[in-house]
Each structure stands twice: as C-alpha cells, then as structure tokens.
Structure 1
C-alpha cells in the first residue's frame, strides 16, 4: 500500500479512473449511431494538434515545449469532429472525409513533430499513450474535461439518446437535432483528447467502444449499458495501470488487451448460457 502514497502512482490512477469512466459515456452514443470508428479519425487529427502545439511551444520558446500539446489536440480534434458531423448531416461521404482526416492527421502530426524538434519517443508517447509522464496540471485538465463529458453525457442522456436512436422522431418532438448531433461530435473529440495520454491515439477508440460492447452483452437498456460500461472502463484502466506498476508493460496496450479478452470471455459465457436455456 506504500505505493499509493507515491505522487506518480496517484496521478496515474486518478487519470486512469477519469478516463475509464468518461470514455464509455461517449462510446455508448457512438455505438448507438453505428459510428464506432469515429474515434480513430478524430484521434489522428488530434495527433496533428499535438504536433502543432509542440511546434508552437518551440516557436514561443516555452519552458515546457509540450505545454500546448493537449490544448492543440483539443482544438484540432473539435475541428475534425465538427467537419465530420457537417459532412455526415449533409450525406456527402463522411466515411471519405474520415479517411482523409485519418491519414492526413497522422502524416501531418509526424511531419510537424519533426519540425518542432521532437523525437520518435515523443511521437510514440502520443501514439500509444504515456500515462507515466502526466503532471498534476494534466490531472486537473483531465478532471475538468472528464467532468464536462460526464455532466453533458449523463445530464442530456434522454435527449441525446432520442437523437442518436431516431433523428426523424426526435425532430418531430421539437428537439434541436443538429445542435445535439454537434454536441455528441464535440464531446467525442474532447473524450479522445482526455484518453490520449492513457492509451494513445491508435487505441483511444477501443477504450470508448470495448467497454460498451461488453456492457451490451450484459444489459438491455440504454442507461444500464452506459453505467455498466463506465464501471467496466474504470476497472480496466485501473487494473491495467496497476499491473504496469509491477511489470514493464505498455499500459495502453495492456488496458485494451484486457478489454478485448473480457469481451471474448463474456461473449462466450453468454452464448453458452443461451444454448443451455434452449
């Protein structure tokens, strides 16, 4: 238990808990909208934002070059999410736009980090996560963003569910469908930037979707799926981080692997139970 008194361990566990609870909230809406891979496209745009923040930090000669990395990721991710949502609402090939953002984001991020004087280690930290480098400033920023995600995602749950489930019916009831769709897109972008430090941009979509996929096997209602997914996400992140304290394993990859393994186990168990009932 003495490890829990270490500031580094405390920061890692706090951020892991925040991300584990917040990511599945938005993942529930994305799964409902059949846009599970949206996180990948936005995540790669966020990488370009990280690189732009690095470059700005070097140009302004900041004491910490990566001080603008997360703000840059937030701005770029929101712009990418808004663009994807606008294209999707107009029916003009959102999948193509997502693919362009996917490849443009990662290639632009690599180039900009190189121009900013960053190394491959810096790049890998954002691609696969670097939770061991979080500062108390990162913790407070993550707490604020996670609070926003939870407040809006849970507080507007009924309205957002109506929009994601049946837009025509939602529009007939007077709900501001376009505005709510944009809220989902922006919050998805914010979620990705929060989770990026834990699992990296290449795996961030998995942390949003896998807990929801597991929860759907165990529950039937939308609300229960969301709450169970939040619990599963928190357990996965805390377990993965705690294991990496004792073993030299990449936390992000371990968290996602634990989630996929849990999904396989639960899917097999539920299938066997259904077969036995028949």
Structure 2
C-alpha cells in the first residue's frame, strides 16, 4: 500500500490516473449504444484507421492525436454512408474500412523516419504514463464533449440503437443520429488510444457494458454501471500496472474482463435464485 501511495507523488502518475478516469467513464458510455446496435467491434476498425492517422501525423510533423481524429471521423462517416446509401451491409463496410486502415497504417509506418517506431508502438499498445499536461487537457475536452452530447441525445440515440426502422417511421432523423453516433465513436477511439492502445480500444468500450448487462435489467442502469466498471478498471489497471510493472493497456482490459466474468457469475446465481423462488411459489400454490 505504501508503494502505491508513493507512486502518487509523481506528476506523471497523477496525470495518468486522471486520464484513465476520463477514458474509463467515456468509453463505455458510447460503447453502450454500439453494443445495443450489434456493432461491438466497430472500435477495432476505426482504431486501425486512427493508426494510419497517427502515422500520417508523425510523417508530416503534425500532432498525431489530431490527424488520428480526422482519419477516424472520416472513416466513421464513410462506414455510415456506405451502410445507409449502398447495398453493402454494416459488417462489410466495416471490414472495408478495417483492412484499408491496416494497409494504410502499415505503409505509412514503413515510411516513418528511424527512431519513431517506439512512438507508434505507444499508440498501438498504450503508453498512459507518458501523458503530458496537454494530453490531459485534450482528454478532458473530448470527454466533456462526449458526456454532453450523449446526455442531450440519449433518448434519440437509444431509439435508433434499439430499432432504426421504427425510429425512422416515427419521424426521427435517423441518418443524422447514426452519423452523430459514428463521430462519437471516432472521438472515443482517439480519446482511448493513449490509455489502452488502438489494438485494445474495443475491449474498453464493450466489456464494461457487457458486464453491466449481466446484472442490470434496463438501459439506464446499464449506462451508469458500464461507466462505473470502466472507471474502476481503468484507474485500477493503471495503479496495478505501476506496482507490478505490467503494460497499462493490457492490465486495464484484464480487469474489465475479470469484471465481466464476475458479472456473469452473479447474473447466473441471481437467475438460479429467482428460478428456485418461482418454483417454490408454484409448488405452494399447487397444494390443496
């Protein structure tokens, strides 16, 4: 315990924990709608496109987080345009973007100057302890934007996520709403890439939500519980990684996975208890 408290004496660890808290709350918030729409892996596709944006930023001397944001937002809108206007399904559109992002990232990384490979690996696997004060400010702004937009649009985003056709028939601007969700997803990907890495982004967006769904029965509690699990997993993962010397991204995801396993166990026990209670009630009711 004393070692963990000593770690907090360092500025870089305090920044890392703050960044982890922001990401841990924001990622599951957006991930809830993706899981509801059956697009749990969309973060992977956008993550690989964001990698191409990072590489482009390194090559051009531009801040990688901004070039990654532009690339991810453009790819997210492209996926929605192909899905809604063409005959290509959402999974095929995502695959096209996914493989295009990988190819572009690999080619651009090969052109990167010597000595930048390690920097790119930080975006791939996460390097939260290198978070600068400027990064924290950017994280705070992006997280605040996500929170405000999701809070304002939540009823309409929920309607589209549950049944897009019914929402369209009800007169909702479904195209604008799905595009907004795509942009929010892209922002979440860029927000999370320094924390868990582009290869593990989807895990932080999906696993806390999946855990919450196992123990919560309605959408509202799932949103709150998912963000709470993400917060605990992110802050706990950074703390454990600092003490154990493990990569922060992988540690965060493993904690989220442990939370999911625990939720599955609790949910199973709860259903078994309800089943036994119902069976007992039925048996008593059947007595003369």
TM over 0.5: yes
Equivalent residue, structure 1, for 2:81:
86
Instruction: Please report how far the alpha carbon of residue 132 of structure 1 lies from its aligned counterpart in structure 2 after TM superposition.
Output: 1.2
Distance in 1 between the 2:255 and 2:6 partners? 26
Cα-to-partner distance string for 1:126-163 (whole Å, 9 max, x where unaligned): 11111111111111011111111111112211111111
Q: 2:152 aligns with which of 134, 137, 155?
A: 155
Distance in 2 between the 1:252 and 1:234 partners? 14
1:188 aligns with 2:185: yes
Name stretches of at least 5 consecutive residues in structure 1 with no aligned partner. Answer: 58-66
1:56 aligns with 2:60: yes
Equivalent residue, structure 1, for 2:70:
75
Q: Contact 1:110/1:123 (CA < 8 Å) preserved in 2?
A: no
Equivalent residue, structure 1, for 2:267:
270
Q: Describe the shift of the 1:123–1:219 C-alpha distance in structure 2 as closer, same or farther (beyond 3 A).
A: same
Structure 1 length normalisation: TM-score? 0.92
1:5 aligns with 2:16: no
Structure 2 length normalisation: TM-score? 0.89
Q: Contact 1:70/1:193 (CA < 8 Å) preserved in 2?
A: yes
Cα-to-partner distance string for 1:11-61 (whole Å, 9 max, x where unaligned): 10010000000000110000110000111101100000000011110xxxx
Instruction: Please report how far the alpha carbon of residue 119 of structure 1 lies from its aligned counterpart in structure 2 after TM superposition.
Output: 3.8
Instruction: Please report how far the alpha carbon of residue 173 of structure 1 lies from its aligned counterpart in structure 2 after TM superposition.
Output: 3.0
Show structure 1 runs of 4+ deviating over 3 A.
none
Determine helix, strand or coil for the equivalent of 1:5. coil
Instruction: Please report how far the alpha carbon of residue 2 of structure 1 lies from its aligned counterpart in structure 2 after TM superposition.
Output: 4.2
Cα-to-partner distance string for 1:171-224 (whole Å, 9 max, x where unaligned): 233321110110000000000000010011110001000000000011111111
Distance in 2 between the 1:221 and 1:243 partners? 32
Q: Contact 2:215/2:266 (CA < 8 Å) preserved in 1?
A: no
Equivalent residue, structure 2, for 1:61:
none
Q: 2:217 aligns with which of 220, 232, 237?
A: 220
After superposing the two structures, state which structure 1 stretch, 101-110 or 148-157, moved more: 101-110
Q: Larger radius of gyration, structure 1 or 2?
A: 2
Alignment of 1:1-278 (within 5 A): 1-57=5-61, 68-90=63-85, 91-117=87-113, 118-278=115-275
Alignment RMSD: 1.4
